[in-house]
Structure 1
Amino acid sequence: MYRFLLTRQWLITMLIALLLIPATIKLGFWQLHRHEARVARNELIGKALTAAPVPFDTLSTAPGAAVPKDLTWRAVTATGQYDTEHEFVVRKRTDSNGTIGYFVVTPLKLSDGRGAVLVNRGWVPSADDATAYPSVPAAPTGEVTLTGRLRADETSGGSGIKDRAGMPDRQFNLISTEQQAKETGATLLGGYLELTATTPAPAGQPQLIPEPNHSDIGPHMAYAIQWWLFTAMIPVGVWILARREAKDRAKQAAEAGTALAAVPA
């Protein structure tokens, strides 16, 4: 009854099914790992945002030092004066409503004289002319003490943002201490701060960046389950198709036999 499974068409069908099974299993685990990474990231952010702020110099003490993953998003404090001469903007960034504009990044020269740290002071809307420097509220003058979330330097690989050359003056695609150190010759400590508060509180500053959402785990677990359900359905589907063809062939054979029996001798 099932000798048709040895035909070329069915051998190809079963080969495709055998190849799909490990592929869909792997895709399921890929989504599972993405889920686990998302959960770990959310836990890291949640712990960092609820921890008491610590001095910046206790976490990043060397120019160009990479920010450890477990310290990313940690609330830190820093005291110094803004270096407005080396201020720049980061293109194509959105506010909480998804409106495209710029991040305003100003180096803060630390009072202890060890160097400066880049501070993302917040978001401003785009200018009418994309090549023109946007209207940016002036940074506070004099010594300030600020609180911010510690972030690692942005990279094209980590952010998916291409770092194109030929940008207008003082406009960049990424927040990178390495890039700015080469551009300005300043001594910049590793990582940057995402501003959350300033003392004394200034007026008319860029729109602060809201806390990241660390409660959404995303759809990755659901996708993993879907891939594994699809894996289980592959052999079931092949079996159903084989059963259906076997019944069709048996029916056709029975009808052919009946037709032959009805022919007069």
Structure 2
Amino acid sequence: MYRFLLSRQWVILTLLGLALIPAMIELGFWQLHRHESRVAHNELISSSLRARPVPFDRLSSPGHGPAEDEQFRTAKATGRYDTGHEVVVRQRTGADEKSIGYFVLTPLIQDDGSAVLVNRGWIEAGGDLTRFPDVPAPPRGKVTVTGRVMADETSEASGIKDKRGLPPRQVMLINSRQQAATLDRPVLRGYLQLTSTSPKPAGGQPERIPEPDHSSIGAHMAYAVQWWLFAAGVPVGWVILVRRERRDRAEASGTGSAAAAATAKGGETGVTGGSDEAGSGDDPENAAPSTPPAGIPSSAD
């Protein structure tokens, strides 16, 4: 009845289904782990943003960057801006996530001589990308800046290629190690993403970077459920196909048997009819009267 399952076509189909089931289950767990990671990341950002501000040098030093669970936390630093070593970070988007421009990265020199990198915000790129853009000047004198603690950017983590041969004072990554090579002083690892300055600057300043999104969790959980439903659907689909194949084969077999029976019956009927006709002609009792022999008067006489 189910011998067709041993055919090459059905063996391949069955093995394919058996391979797809664990693969789809694993893909579902992969999406689940991404969902859990996203939720944990959002909780980290939310708790860090709610935490009380702390001095930046408590979270970072020239030899060690801020811990992973300290990222996005609000921190403060006091010092004077060093505009002579200010650089711009290329190919960054503004708050609308459409316009391409620069981040303005300015070292803040603390009283102990160490430097804190401050991302003061975003400016438009302008027409000539080979020259240093017009950057709004930071406040003069000693200031206290407040910002979100960020880890150094790397090509591996950000996906941004660190290009060489750029115009002067232009970089691709915000990286304290790279900037320490140009500053003749120790630089604290990581940087501050500016949120406020005291005293407030008088003139226009770069566009502030909005706080990171920590409410969206994406569709990873929906994708996980989808993969698991696909995995459950494979055996169901296999059973449906098997039953359909069995029904089609049974119908084809029944149609063939009926046709063969009809053909056989028709042959027997033809043979029987021919024998009866031949017999009726040879049977003396059924034969028509022959002409009477000579000398015997016919009834007509």
- TM-score between the two structures when normalised by the length of structure 1: 0.96
**Corresponding residue of 1:90:** 89
Q: CA deviation at 1:199?
A: 0.6
Question: Rg: which structure is higher?
Answer: 2
Contact 1:101–1:124 at 8 Å: present in 2 too? yes
Q: CA deviation at 1:122?
A: 0.2
Q: CA deviation at 1:182?
A: 2.1
Tell me the distance in 2 between the aligned counterparts of 1:189 and 1:175: 13
Q: CA deviation at 1:132?
A: 2.4
Structure 2 matches for 1:134-153, cutoff 5 A? Answer: 134-153=133-152
Q: For 2:200, give the aligned amino acid.
A: A
Q: Which 5+ residue runs of structure 1 have no aligned equivalent?
A: none
Tell me the distance in 2 between the aligned counterparts of 1:19 and 1:165: 46
**Corresponding residue of 1:130:** 129
Q: CA deviation at 1:5?
A: 1.0
Q: Which has the higher contact order (CA 8 A, sep 6+)?
A: 1
Number of aligned positions between the proteins? 263
Contact 2:120–2:206 at 8 Å: present in 1 too? yes
Q: Which has the higher strand share?
A: 1
Contact 2:82–2:109 at 8 Å: present in 1 too? yes
Contact 1:64–1:177 at 8 Å: present in 2 too? no
Percent identity, aligned pairs only, is: 58
**Corresponding residue of 2:103:** 103
Tell me the distance in 1 between the aligned counterparts of 2:34 and 2:110: 38
**Corresponding residue of 2:208:** 208
Provide the alpha-carbon RMSD of the alignment: 1.2
SS of 1:123's partner is strand
* Runs of 4+ residues over 3 Å off in structure 1: 183-186
Q: CA deviation at 1:185?
A: 4.0
SS of 1:190's partner is coil
**Corresponding residue of 1:254:** 254
Tell me the distance in 1 between the aligned counterparts of 2:162 and 2:199: 35
Tell me the distance in 1 between the aligned counterparts of 2:246 and 2:164: 64
**Corresponding residue of 2:283:** none
Structure 2 matches for 1:48-63, cutoff 5 A? Answer: 48-60=48-60, 62-63=61-62
**Corresponding residue of 1:47:** 47
Tell me the distance in 1 between the aligned counterparts of 2:184 and 2:228: 54
Structure 2 matches for 1:88-237, cutoff 5 A? Answer: 88-98=87-97, 99-111=99-111, 113-202=112-201, 203-237=203-237
Q: CA deviation at 1:114?
A: 4.7
Tell me the distance in 1 between the aligned counterparts of 2:36 and 2:180: 36
Tell me the distance in 2 between the aligned counterparts of 1:156 and 1:82: 27
Q: Which 5+ residue runs of structure 2 have no aligned equivalent?
A: 268-301
SS of 1:78's partner is strand
Q: CA deviation at 1:45?
A: 0.5
